């Protein structure tokens, strides 16, 4: 009987962990993004993430609006929009978590890109393009705006303008 209960409990735990981050029910809410274990504390660390790790990070960030920018050091339009992202991250501070995802890039050039643009929010590496592809994007740059409840509020393909960035952030901060 105990072995049957153990198998049943294990099956329930596995089944609950297979859902996508956006469809999870209520759970722990991260009140301070700096305490989240998957969020790189060092901006230049650039850890490699796959889609499952990306979703776990988003789940940990629940309770905070999140702006995810997909970029690459070799992408000219990415460099064009970066100053607006850097300014917005400074302006919104801890009210919005910014995250960069370097797509199919090399660590050296990606680190140089972060330093040359004075990017102070964390970025991760998507070495295979898995995150980018699973989010349904084709080119770069792309940006996803997540509301505090973890739902996607808006996606943007192509370089952001400062006004489109501000409007999208206001939308997730206000909970729309």
Own/partner pairs, 104-112, CB within 8 angstroms, 24+ separation: 104/72, 104/128, 104/129, 104/132, 105/72, 105/73, 105/74, 106/73, 107/46, 109/73, 109/74, 110/46, 110/72, 110/73, 111/44, 111/46, 112/73
Residue 27 makes CB contacts below 8 A (sequence gap 6+) with 59, 62
pLDDT digits (tens, 9 = 90+) for 145-154: 999 999 999 9
Question: Residue 29: inside a domain, yes or no?
Answer: no
Q: Does residue 16 have a pLDDT over 80?
A: no
Residue in this structure with the two tokens 């050296």, named with its chain if needed? 108
Residues in the chain: 176
Percent of the chain with pLDDT over 90: 74
On whether the pTM is more than 0.85, the answer is no
Instruction: Report the CATH number that the domain containing residue 83 is assigned in CATH.
Output: 3.40.30.10
Q: Does residue 30 have a pLDDT over 70?
A: no
Question: Residue 36: inside a domain, yes or no?
Answer: no
Question: Residue 26: inside a domain, yes or no?
Answer: no
Question: Residue 12: inside a domain, yes or no?
Answer: no
Give the chain's mean pLDDT.
83
Question: Residue 121: inside a domain, yes or no?
Answer: yes
Question: Residue 82: inside a domain, yes or no?
Answer: yes
Which range of residues forms the domain containing residue 92? 42-173
Question: Residue 164: inside a domain, yes or no?
Answer: yes
Q: Does residue 31 have a pLDDT over 70?
A: no
Question: Residue 110: inside a domain, yes or no?
Answer: yes
Question: Structurally, how many domains does the chain consist of?
Answer: 1
């Amino acid at each position: 009987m105990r072995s049957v209960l153990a198998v049943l409990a294990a099956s329930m735990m596995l089944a609950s962990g297979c859902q996508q981050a956006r469809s999870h029910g209520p759970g722990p809410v991260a009140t301070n993004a700096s305490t989240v274990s998957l969020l790189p504390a060092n901006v230049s660390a650039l850890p490699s993430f796959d889609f499952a790790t990306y979703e776990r990070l988003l789940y940990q960030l629940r309770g905070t609006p999140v702006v995810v920018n997909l970029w690459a050091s070799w992408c000219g339009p990415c460099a064009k929009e970066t100053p607006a992202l850097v300014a917005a991250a400074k302006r919104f501070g801890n009210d919005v978590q910014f995250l960069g995802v370097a797509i199919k890039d090399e660590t050296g050039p990606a680190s140089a890109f972060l330093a040359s643009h004075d990017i102070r929010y964390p970025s991760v590496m998507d070495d295979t393009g898995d995150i980018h592809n699973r989010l349904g994007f084709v080119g770069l740059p792309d940006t996803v705006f997540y509301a505090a409840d973890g739902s996607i509020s808006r996606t943007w393909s192509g370089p952001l303008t400062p006004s489109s960035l501000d409007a999208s952030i206001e939308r997730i901060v206000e909970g729309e």
